[in-house]
Amino acid sequence: MAWLRAGSCLAKLATRNRCFHTTVLRSKPSGPVPRSVPLSRLSDSFLDGTSSVYLEELQRTWESDPNSVDESWDNFFRNFVSHAASSPGISGQTIQESMKLLLLVRAYQFHGHMKARLDPLGLEQREVPDDLDPGFYGFNESDLDREFFLGVWRMSGFLSENRPVQTLRAILTRLEQAYCGSIGYEYMHIANRDQCNWLRDKIETPSPMAYDSQRRQVILSRLIWSTQFENFLATKWTAAKRFGLEGGETLIPGMKEMFDRSADLGVENIVIGMSHRGRLNVLGNVVRKPLRQIFSEFSGGTKPVDDIGLYTGTGDVKYHLGTSYDRPTRGGKHIHLSLVANPSHLEAVDPVVIGKTRAKQYYSNDVGRTKNMGILIHGDGSFAGQGVVYETLHMSGLPSYTTGGTIHIVVNNQVAFTTDPKSGRSSQYCTDVAKALDAPIFHVNGDDVEAVVHACELAAEWRQTFHSDVVVDITCYRRFGHNEIDEPFFTQPKMYKVIRSHPSALEMYQKQLLETGQVTKEDIDRIQNKVLSILNEEFVASKDYVTKRRDWLSNYWLGFKSPEQLSRIRNTGVQHEILKNVGKTITTLPENFNAHRAAKKIFADRLKMIETGEGVDWAVAEVLAFATLLVEGNHVRLSGQDVERGTFSHRHSVIHDQVTGERYCPLDHVMKNQNQEMFTVSNSSLSEFGVLGFELGYSMENPNSLVLWEAQFGDFSNGAQVMFDQFLSSGEAKWLRQTGLVLLLPHGYDGQGPEHSSARLERFLQMSDDNPFVIPEMEPTLRTQIQTCNWQVVNVTTPANYFHVLRRQLHREFRKPLIVMSPKNLLRHKECKSNLSEFDDAEGHPGYDKQGTRFKRLIKDQNGHLDLEEGIRRLVFCSGKVYYELDEQRKSVDGKDVAICRVEQLCPFPYDLIQRELKRYPNAEIVWCQEEPMNMGAYAYIAPRLATAMKAVERGSIQDIKYVGRGPSAATATGFYGVHVKEHSELVQKAMQPDPITTPALA
Ligand SMILES: Cc1ncc(C[n+]2csc(CCOP(=O)(O)OP(=O)(O)O)c2C)c(N)n1
Ligand SMILES: [Mg+2]
């Protein structure tokens, strides 16, 4: 069949200049009739093999033996023969002609969009494929009024059974109407026959957009709102940046009608993500953020105040803010809309919206995923250019990430800042990436408001019918520059010359409705005046408007504390019986389950740890944290690459039956009749940006959930850097939104080379906002240090401490992101074990401090516990697994006069505990030891804070901090194992050397 495919490529290349509105019949080519079948584009099985030659051959075969051809072909030939015999008009028609006509119809279904009138400016230079030309198949003028038999296909729409015989003229008119009007449909790439038929049915119906005059008035009014809103802002704040929607105003009626239709079809909640363009218009007109609030923000905006707390954060520019409201719909229902706050990084909000939508589905038990829906609005440049678009699309069908379909709307103004599409993408359409998902794509001329409304409604119907993604590409233009103070003539002079004299979509629609008598001039004036007077009223009211913070916090967050409101520190130990009980469940596999031999052993060992209460390892600590949180009624969700088994083969949260392949997840069974999603562990797609963004959005919905994302190795998380910079570290400050998301980033120097050693701890610490020179209130009953800091960074060294730091995430009245430098070789380290008694809350047990059992921000030296240890000559502060290596070296040199303190929580800095240790060892040389190079790791973060602590207790200054660690380096680690070992032994030896350390401190 290779030759057929080659033929189809030729057909694809053979194109001619586009010709709108009319179909020009070309005379039959004089040379050999080209192969007319773009085979690769035919997806219905019936047409799986065809060409002129092939068809003739097939017909001959059928004539000699009808059973020798496929049933569908047999059907066709039989029908044709019987119609030809009974219908005088087609008696002269050959089977070949009929089949060519069929190909013409198919060509329109495939390529009709290439001829659709999509560009409001008419500047688009597109080639229309030859296969849309009847002459290409040998038809000419004289054939126009002949009747043809189209066949009887198991197909919807045009080629369905009810009208198999039509004139060529009628066929062409209908094809042009259906496929080459203001909407170009791309759907023939979809492999699913039912979906194609569903769309054909909708597209090929004779009058798809029959709106009555009442409906048209609603559409008109919505378009007036959209247009007037931008005009109003433009007149009141002439030089303010607002990234206006002018040129794409039909987005608003489109969205509103889409939401109304969705509500009719059962949607109750919509989460919206969008960037700058038209965001204010969407906020005001679609989400219904009070106009007075928007206007107040324009006038400089007051910092929000709150009757409960004073925390206002840093705020954000107006076109990034989010909000949420209940909005009545045309059909008399209500729909809840939330627009997620987003940073300027285009498309970064996409996965966040989808994650939040998925969480809403979980919490509302929306198992069919029909009540909660995500909508993403994109720009043409960013949709084509940003990789996270694909990462987000790609999650849409994954069981743990699907939301039952997202509707994508592209505000395709045919320019990205100053960049033309030809420099911005290699594909024909900016939406081509969505074809990878088999999503239908509706390209629509943004000047035709009814077509926009129709495409938007169709998208809503598709989503509720097929529960998968769909794209509406509104081809429009940008009336002004990229923003209101930008000059577009510098770079797009020709386009803007056309735009200057181009009437607005509203002007065109008003004219159309007046001409057809659908509305009167008075109707229009009435609506215009009403809108203007409301805008003016709101403007006046905006002067006294006082923003309330938490405007968009959902009910789940009621009672949660802002950074100024003191939240009690709670213990996180768990009753011994509960630990034993859940411990049994999570270490027991069902009878007759054929687990892998090694997995059986792991589970048996785990059971032993629970039974004896000794030697609890990292994986068991984690599973105990999850299980106890579940028992307390929380939702736990862990995702990332290979997290089910664990990259280091340590977790085994899902066990696979070696005979049946069946899966068993012990944590699904810690409670009776447990909802299967209550504990979710899921391997993810190989994406960091997208998946982390998804989990972040998920975590923001409901605080009673522990949501974790684990990087394969910590360094890979830099693929999600935008999420750290723009959302995780600064989201609360900018948008007053909290999240307790946990990041597990495997980190540690064990000779695995530059990329697998470092999770780039320094970057997380550098983004921490605790003041290095000011010791905050550290008194336990008054301490808000951790609430006022933007996030927590820990490098934990014991299983019990890991258990407590995870549980602490939920046992508090606020939420903070938690960055965990998680271990690799500690997972199996013989010393890295805890006793079960460190997990429980029994007084007197090893984990029990003065206050009870909780996370230890600092672990003091294991040897001397007196309040004053004057004989200690060196105090080594460190963090993470290097502790075990230092301790081993200390043992080997019998360094009893060296104390080693583990800073388990680096950020916020545990000033109180550090000072306690400084006081305990008054004569000790103070050392910071790390395994990372000097320009990496925690050194730069620790030094000024340690110095501040030292100064306060008169233990010296920054000059007195001695550094032990690797030297400065460009790469995070050496690639040579031998060098690693050498560096490592030098490091630990130096930390324990008898002589004072001379390495200069960070000055
Ligand atoms: C990731 C990212 N890169 C660059 C920018 C700077 N930038 C802001 S708007 C814009 C053009 C966007 O074009 P398009 O997606 O077509 O949206 P439009 O402004 O045309 O509506 C650019 C490059 C950004 N905000 N985000
Ligand atoms: Mg654009």
- Annotate 96-158 with three-state secondary structure: HHHHHHHHHHHHHHHHHHHHCCCCCCCCCCCEEEHHHCHHHHCCCHHHCCCEEECCCCCCCHH
CB 615 within 8 A of CB 833: yes
For ligand 1, atom 17, name the residue with the nearest CA.
379
Q: What is the per-residue pLDDT for 17?
A: 35
State the closest ligand 1 atom to the C-alpha of 478, by its place in the atom list counted from 1: 20
Kindly state the tokens that stand for 426: 């290699």
Q: What is the per-residue pLDDT for 554?
A: 58
Q: 149-158, 291-300, 586-595, 946-955: which has the minimum mean pLDDT? A: 149-158
For ligand 1, atom 12, name the residue with the nearest CA.
416
Q: 324-328, 347-351, 369-373, 665-669: which has the minimum mean pLDDT? A: 324-328
- Whether 738 is in the pocket of ligand 1, judged by its Cβ within 6 Å, is no
Is 219's pLDDT higher than 60?
yes
CB 832 within 8 A of CB 618: yes
Kindly state the tokens that stand for 548: 């309330």
- Whether 166 is in the pocket of ligand 1, judged by its Cβ within 6 Å, is no
Question: What gap in Å lies between CA 845 and CA 938, rounded to an integer?
Answer: 32
- 245, 383, 417, best to mutate for ligand 1 pocket (most atoms within 8 Å of CB): 417
Helix (H) or strand (E) holding 228: helix 213-236
Name which of 387, 336, 376 is nearest 354 in CA terms: 376
Please tell me the distance between residue 385's alpha carbon and the centre of ligand 2 in angstroms: 11
Q: What is the per-residue pLDDT for 562?
A: 78
Nearest-10 crossing angle of helices 449-466, 505-515: 100
Average pLDDT of span 352-369: 98
State the closest ligand 1 atom to the C-alpha of 277, by its place in the atom list counted from 1: 21
Kindly state the tokens that stand for 818: 């938690």
Higher-scoring residue by pLDDT: 35, 552: 552
What ranges in 282-341 are assigned the alpha helix state H?
A: 291-298
Is 573's pLDDT higher than 90?
yes
Higher-scoring residue by pLDDT: 689, 853: 689
Question: What gap in Å lies between CA 146 and CA 379, rounded to an integer?
Answer: 46
Q: Could you give the 3-state DSSP secondary structure of residue 283? A: helix
- 276, 277, 346, best to mutate for ligand 1 pocket (most atoms within 8 Å of CB): 346
Q: Is 374 exposed, middle or buried (0-12, 13-18, 19+ CB in 10 A)?
A: buried
335 secondary structure, DSSP code:
E
Q: What is the per-residue pLDDT for 862?
A: 86
Higher-scoring residue by pLDDT: 72, 884: 884
pLDDT interval class at 50 (50, 70, 90):
very low
State the closest ligand 1 atom to the C-alpha of 380, by its place in the atom list counted from 1: 16
Average pLDDT of span 6-33: 34
CB 118 within 8 A of CB 442: no
Is 68's pLDDT higher than 90?
no
Please tell me the distance between residue 291's alpha carbon and the centre of ligand 2 in angstroms: 26
pLDDT interval class at 22 (50, 70, 90):
very low
Higher-scoring residue by pLDDT: 910, 52: 910
pLDDT interval class at 556 (50, 70, 90):
confident
The amino acid that residue 31 corresponds to is G
Q: 328-342, 499-513, 642-656: which has the minimum mean pLDDT? A: 328-342
Which strands sit side by side in the sheet containing 742-746, from one edge to the other?
679-683, 635-640, 705-710, 742-746, 818-822, 792-794, 905-907
Is 961's pLDDT higher than 50?
yes
Q: What is the per-residue pLDDT for 154?
A: 58
* CA 935 to chain centroid: 33
Phi-psi region of 852 (alpha: psi -120 to 50; beta: other; left: phi over 0): left
State the closest ligand 1 atom to the C-alpha of 430, by its place in the atom list counted from 1: 16
Question: What gap in Å lies between CA 480 and CA 488, rounded to an integer?
Answer: 7
Q: What is the per-residue pLDDT for 47?
A: 47
Is 71's pLDDT higher than 80?
no
pLDDT interval class at 112 (50, 70, 90):
very high
Average pLDDT of span 406-430: 97
Name which of 46, 409, 396, 327 is nearest 197 in CA terms: 46
Q: What is the per-residue pLDDT for 28?
A: 37
Q: What is the per-residue pLDDT for 305?
A: 53
Q: What is the per-residue pLDDT for 79?
A: 75
Q: What is the per-residue pLDDT for 894?
A: 95
State the closest ligand 1 atom to the C-alpha of 347, by its place in the atom list counted from 1: 1
pLDDT interval class at 156 (50, 70, 90):
low
What ranges in 678-730 are assigned the alpha helix state H?
A: 689-701, 721-722
81 secondary structure, DSSP code:
H
Q: Which residues contact 953 (CB under 8 A, 6 or more apart)?
A: 915, 918, 919
Average pLDDT of span 83-100: 70
Torsion sign (Cα): 843, 847, 853, 858 = positive
Please tell me the distance between residue 380's alpha carbon and the centre of ligand 2 in angstroms: 5
- Whether 396 is in the pocket of ligand 1, judged by its Cβ within 6 Å, is no
Percent with pLDDT over 70 in the chain? 88
Average pLDDT of span 542-557: 68
Q: What is the per-residue pLDDT for 821?
A: 98
Helix (H) or strand (E) holding 609: helix 597-612
pLDDT interval class at 301 (50, 70, 90):
low
Kindly state the tokens that stand for 149: 């038999």
| Torsion angle of C-alpha atoms 15, 21, 27, 29, degrees rounded to 10 | 10
Question: What gap in Å lies between CA 773 and CA 785, rounded to an integer?
Answer: 14
Torsion sign (Cα): 827, 831, 837, 843 = negative
Helix (H) or strand (E) holding 874: strand 874-878
CB 638 within 8 A of CB 681: yes
Count other Cβ atoms within 10 Å, centred on residue 517.
8
Q: What is the per-residue pLDDT for 78?
A: 80
Q: Which tens digits make up the pLDDT trace of 308-330? A: 444 556 666 666 677 888 888 88
Please tell me the distance between residue 12's alpha carbon and the centre of ligand 2 in angstroms: 28
Please tell me the distance between residue 342's alpha carbon and the centre of ligand 2 in angstroms: 18
Kindly state the tokens that stand for 429: 């359409």
Average pLDDT of span 362-382: 98
- Whether 344 is in the pocket of ligand 1, judged by its Cβ within 6 Å, is yes
Name which of 632, 624, 633, 631 is nearest 583 in CA terms: 624
Q: Is 622 exposed, middle or buried (0-12, 13-18, 19+ CB in 10 A)?
A: buried
Q: Which tens digits make up the pLDDT trace of 249-281? A: 999 999 999 999 999 999 999 999 999 999 999
Q: What is the per-residue pLDDT for 37?
A: 31
Q: What is the per-residue pLDDT for 842?
A: 82
Q: Which residues contact 984 (CB under 8 A, 6 or more apart)?
A: 749, 885, 931
- Whether 621 is in the pocket of ligand 1, judged by its Cβ within 6 Å, is no
Looking at the DSSP bridge assignments, the partners of residue 305 are: 548
Query: What is the chain's length?
Result: 1003
State the closest ligand 1 atom to the C-alpha of 482, by its place in the atom list counted from 1: 19
Q: What is the per-residue pLDDT for 9?
A: 32
Q: What is the per-residue pLDDT for 13?
A: 31
- Whether 382 is in the pocket of ligand 1, judged by its Cβ within 6 Å, is yes
- Whether 658 is in the pocket of ligand 1, judged by its Cβ within 6 Å, is no
Q: Which tens digits make up the pLDDT trace of 471-492? A: 999 999 999 999 888 999 999 9
Q: What is the per-residue pLDDT for 1003?
A: 45
- Whether 411 is in the pocket of ligand 1, judged by its Cβ within 6 Å, is yes
User: Considering the chain, what is the average pLDDT of its residues?
Assistant: 89
- Whether 380 is in the pocket of ligand 1, judged by its Cβ within 6 Å, is yes
Q: Which tens digits make up the pLDDT trace of 881-909? A: 999 999 999 999 999 999 999 999 999 99
Q: Which residues contact 1001 (CB under 8 A, 6 or more apart)?
A: 943, 958, 959, 960, 961, 962, 963
Q: What is the per-residue pLDDT for 311?
A: 55
Higher-scoring residue by pLDDT: 586, 70: 586
Count other Cβ atoms within 10 Å, centred on residue 521.
9
State the closest ligand 1 atom to the C-alpha of 413, by its place in the atom list counted from 1: 20
Is 550's pLDDT higher than 70?
no
CB 145 within 8 A of CB 169: yes
CB 165 within 8 A of CB 149: yes
pLDDT interval class at 52 (50, 70, 90):
low
CB 858 within 8 A of CB 903: yes
| Torsion angle of C-alpha atoms 235, 237, 243, 246, degrees rounded to 10 | 0
Average pLDDT of span 43-65: 64
Please tell me the distance between residue 860's alpha carbon and the centre of ligand 2 in angstroms: 57
Helix (H) or strand (E) holding 442: strand 441-445
Average pLDDT of span 342-363: 97
Name which of 662, 712, 676, 671 is nearest 691 in CA terms: 712
- Whether 416 is in the pocket of ligand 1, judged by its Cβ within 6 Å, is yes
- Whether 430 is in the pocket of ligand 1, judged by its Cβ within 6 Å, is no
Q: What is the DSSP string of 876-917?
A: EEE-TTHHHHHHHHHHHHT-TTEEEEEESEEES--HHHHHHH
Q: 226-235, 285-294, 297-306, 808-817: which has the minimum mean pLDDT? A: 297-306
Helix (H) or strand (E) holding 165: strand 165-167
Name which of 788, 789, 784 is nearest 767 in CA terms: 789
The amino acid that residue 45 corresponds to is S
Please tell me the distance between residue 346's alpha carbon and the centre of ligand 1 in angstroms: 6
Is 34's pLDDT higher than 90?
no
Question: What gap in Å lies between CA 50 and CA 10, rounded to an integer?
Answer: 15
Question: What gap in Å lies between CA 928 and CA 937, rounded to an integer?
Answer: 11
- Whether 345 is in the pocket of ligand 1, judged by its Cβ within 6 Å, is yes
Kindly state the tokens that stand for 506: 């509203």
